[in-house]
Structure 1
Amino acid sequence: MAKSSGTTSNKLLYVLIVVVLALLAAAIVNFFFVTQRAAHDEEFLGYAAEAAVISQSVSKNAQLAVDGNREAIQRLYTDRERFDRNLDRMRRGNPDTLLPAPPRQVRQELSIVEDRWSDTGRGAAQLLLDQGDMIRRSHQSLEIIDENIGPLQNSIEALGDRLLEINAGASQVFHQGRMAQLAPRIHQWSVSLVTGSGDPGVAQRRIGDDNAFFGRLVRGFQDGDDSLGVEAVADSEAQSILTDISVYYGRINDEVSRIEGQRAELLSVHRANSALAEISDSLLAGIRSVESTYRRSIDDRMFSATYGYIFGGLALLILAVLIYVYVLTSDTRKAAALQQEQNERNQEAILRLLDELGSLADGDLTVQVSVTEDITGAIADSINYAVDALRELVVTINDTAVRVDATAQQTRATASHLAEASEHQSSEITSASRQIQEMAESIEQVSENAERSTRVAQQSVEIAHKGGDAVRRTIDGMNNIRENIQETSKRIKRLGESSQEIGDIVELINDIAEQTNILALNAAIQASAAGEAGRGFAVVADEVQRLAERSGNATRQIEALVKTIQTDTNEAVISMEHSTSGVVSGARLAENAGEALDEIEKVSNHIATLIQSISGAARQQAQAASDVSRTMQVIQEITSQTHEGTTATADNIGKLAALATELRKSVSGFKLPGKQEEQTMVMSSEDVDQGESEALEDGEMASLEDMPEDSDDLSSLESGDIEDSVDEQEGGLDEFVDEIDWPEDDEAGDSEQKRQRDTERVD
């Protein structure tokens, strides 16, 4: 065994040495790959940083190129080439430095940047490079315009001053003002087209028209233009100023025409510049995203410096363990030799112990094992103690088996009686369930009748409510009629009062007519006294008298009509008062009818509520009856289960009695010491049977005394009481059986085979 242990240790040592070498190699390889990848990472991130800077410088150089900077055009070309080169190396890698292609997620982010650059940036930069000469020529033209626009404006102002001095016509002064307005606008449109400031689109549309119109104005001042309404300037000094204007305008016109001819190219240049300015930030954001994605991929790599440190640390740790194990190996060999010698002595002692235990294996409990000072001494002492305990256990098992058998017979009789009681209880519960079901059906019919009564009462309530509404509407109508009659009565009274005033006025008119008649009579008398001279006046007096008489007759007729109106008015007022009284009485009667209908509605509501309560109570009773019926069915099922359980319990108790008999037989083969054997001999079958019969009779008498005498009383037993009784019986048996210390089932075998197995176990 020592040799085998040494061989195993040597193998383990060799394995550990191989593991150390493997860990050191893994650490070296890991550091090599980490160093190489760090250089590649630095190179890739350098390309990304340079591309980020170029994405911003492209926009700046493009703007400077549009402004006419020649060096900016060269820088733009360099930026484009460097940006393309960096994108290519970031996507494919660098064969010169062995830079590999980036991971797939980095290439996906990089493809977005390449698409943006390919769709817009590269083409815009190429357009600016292709139009570099045109841009420079345009700026040269703009410089010439800038040189001549100031003198041109000064000459236009001088022309205006001269026209005012010579009191030129309003048309000439007006068109000189137009020239003063057009000159800066032409310069503005030129600057907008060349530099892209302002709105180049508007400048493209307006520069040609404004320039042409300015030329017409110059020619109009020189030669006259009827279509513009401009007269030629006759003043020599003004003509000299116009000559200067024509010279300056000629220079400007040449350059404006050149710029106008290149306006399409200029607009495309400005659009390309705007595109580069717009794409600059998106390119920068895309490159930053590529850079961050690449940095995240660095953390996900299989090789990292941490793994190298781990491998190296493990190698050093295992190497230290190897050194420690080597130092302890010599002491271990010495201890193993001593242990081998001790094991041989222990094996001999164990074999002696197994020889003494041979008879114990055959069931002989009289054996006493020899206790020595060897390693088996404590084991022998424990075995002697276990044999003593086993003797007591066998005696206890014999006694317990007898008591279990007697108790099982008594419990089986009780379970059989309980099964009969459960069956009778089940039949009684079935009858009660049927009666409860019939009662539930009757209550259900009462509930349905109550619901129909509720609907009838509800209809009565609705009819009474409708009648009350009709009465209330009638009362409202009568109140309206009463108000209308009262209003009409007031108006008739006011009409009577007005007719009284008319009578007073008629009396006044009648008095005036009488006075007029008297005056006419006096005038006639005076006219007759005057003779021929008063004849004409007499005729007038007669006419006045006749008119006064007609007025008097008319006033008397009006007075008669007024009296008639007053009489009719008084009668109408009296009739209205009678009608008002009738309407008030009718409204009062209608109110009484409405109150009666309200009382009817309240009573109907109360009746409907009572009927609904009756219906609800009936439904609750029907539900309760149904619940009771279901409960009875559950009780019946429980009773059936109890019957089955008691029957099964009786069968199981019979099996328990058989098991107790088998238990007595199983311990009958043990051999006990002489005195105890006489005291604990297994009882004969006759004594056992006699004890069982006596116990059974006592148990049956005790149980029958507690049982009800009449079978009807058995039906009063609830399933819970039956189950409690059975549970008590079974619980008593369980407690009784648990008190027994059951022995393990040891198979008897040949002592020589047991000795051989024990020897193998010791080895």
Structure 2
Amino acid sequence: MTTAKTVKPMEGSRSRSQIIVLFIALIVFIMLLFANFAYLNTQSNYDKQYISHAGELRVLSQRIAKNATEAAAGKAAAFRLLSDARNDFSQRWGYLKKGDPVTGLPAAPPAVHKEMQAVQRDWEQLLSNTNAILASEQTVLSLHQVAATLAETVPQLQVEYEKVVEILLQRGAPASQVALAQRQSLLAERILGAVNTVLAGDETAAQAADAFGRDANRFGQVLNGMLEGNAGLRISQVEDKDARARLLEISELFQFVSGSVDEILETSPQLFQVREAASHIFSLSQTLLDEASMLANGFENLASGRSLDIIGGYVLGLLALGSIILIGLVMVRETNRQLHETAEKNDRNQNAIMRLLDEIADLADGDLTVTASVTEDFTGTIADSINYSVDQLRDLVATINLTAGQVAAAVQDTQATAMQLAEASEHQAQQIAEASGAIAQMAQSIDEVSANASESSAVAERSVAIANKGNEVVHNTIHGMDNIRDQIQDTAKRIKRLGESSQEIGDIVSLIDDIADQTNILALNAAIQASMAGDAGRGFAVVADEVQRLAERSSAATRQIETLVRAIQADTNEAVISMEQTTTEVVRGARLAQDAGVALEEIEGVSQNLAELIQSISNAAQQQTTSAGQISLTMSVIQQITSQTSSGSTATADSIGNLAKMASQLRRSVSGFTLPDTQKTPGPH
């Protein structure tokens, strides 16, 4: 027996050692597995970042080319976008070359150094051209701003010179002055075209810049000659007052053009360099796009070549699974051994339990004189506890017998007192119910007063609202009449201007009529000269007749136009008079509406005072209603408390009666226990 007990602990120790070894192996395999997975996850994350940066480099290379072209064209926003794209490209390229300390990304592996060198070579050239464009930002934007201002100024110069030509023709100025003025308009057009050519930056831009300087200089010389005269250029001074005023306006406009000549000529070479840099960037962007694509493909090939590490992870997973299976087998074997030992121990304990049950069988019948035997088995402690419990139970039963008798005597006195208290509570509840009814009637009366006051207050508030709306309507009416008055006045002014314009038309018609009469006289003279010339002037006579008939038709048409103009002037005067009368009536209506508004404001004030008084009455009635309600609620609470007290007193009397019955039942329940003679207690007397 001793040998068997010695062998079993040795077997358990060997099994535990095997489990520990297997657990250590399992932990090692799992740690290696997690380390492998962590390495694969880290490398996969790095690969994703490499591929993402390379993909962004492709996009940024095209974005830089687009923004560079737009920046060279003078778009201000393109410079900011170009700077952002350059900085983003530089940052991502730096991550690929040196790594990213924020995300822990290392520099690109040596496997893609060839692709990296190709990108680096083209990126340096593209970066140099990009920096050159950004450095010329202010110059390019300033030059385009000047060109935009010129595009607005030159058409104004042309319009002013066309007016000068019209004035010179009307005043009968020399043909040479008219020709110079017309030539200035064409020269202004050439200046604007030269500026646009310079901004375009093509192969003729340099020639256009020179032509711009020459044309602007020539334009200024002719303009000064027309104002001051220039014998060297054979330009006579313009004497007409209106024409000189137009020329002075042209001179003021041309000051900006002449001031821009030096700036355009000085900055145009830098603009050409920017255009050339943008063109170079555009050609490099496609090469850089292809090389960045090859770099991205290289990173993708690196990511696809990590299959060996994945297989290693699977092997470690299988080893960990094998360790788990071996641990399960050892644990199952150890569990079976422990179950066998437990079955033997249970048999020994079963015999000890049966012996203890035989000794305490009489305790179930209420025999408190029983004593259990205390042995060395595990039931020895249980027997000792049972003996202690029996001793305590004996003392408890004796105490219950004594207390039950005392409780029965006290219950009888308490029950009589509770019955008297219940009768007093019922009487008090009846008195409180009568008082609550009176208070409820008073609260109902106050509620009716409050309701009437609230209704009166509502009526007063509606009166105030109606008066207020009427006042607003009057103000709106006055405002509308003011608008009508202003519109009528504006219309009258326009009709007056129409009359003035018709007067100017009449003057022009008179001038045309005079021209027609002079033409008719000239035609008559030409006919006379033709008749004097005989057969040689016969053809000229036909032309003179046609001119005379045309002059007569022109004269007839001017007389019809003059008649219509007079009719328009008459109708215009009548419309102005009618509108003035209408304006007077509108002003009178506005004054009447304003008087009505003042009366409505007085009505609104009286209604507001009445509403405030009624509201005060309503508030006082509501306060009284609230107080009466609180008093009624308090009386109801007191009545409920009294009713509860009465019910509690009755329930207390019933409970005391039940307590007496329970004391008797308690004595009867413990009467079945058998106590030693020294602990028997007599009942109450």
Which TM class, normalised by the smaller chain length?
0.3 to 0.5
Give the greater-gyration-radius structure (CA).
1
User: Normalization by structure 2: what TM-score?
Assistant: 0.40
User: Normalization by structure 1: what TM-score?
Assistant: 0.36
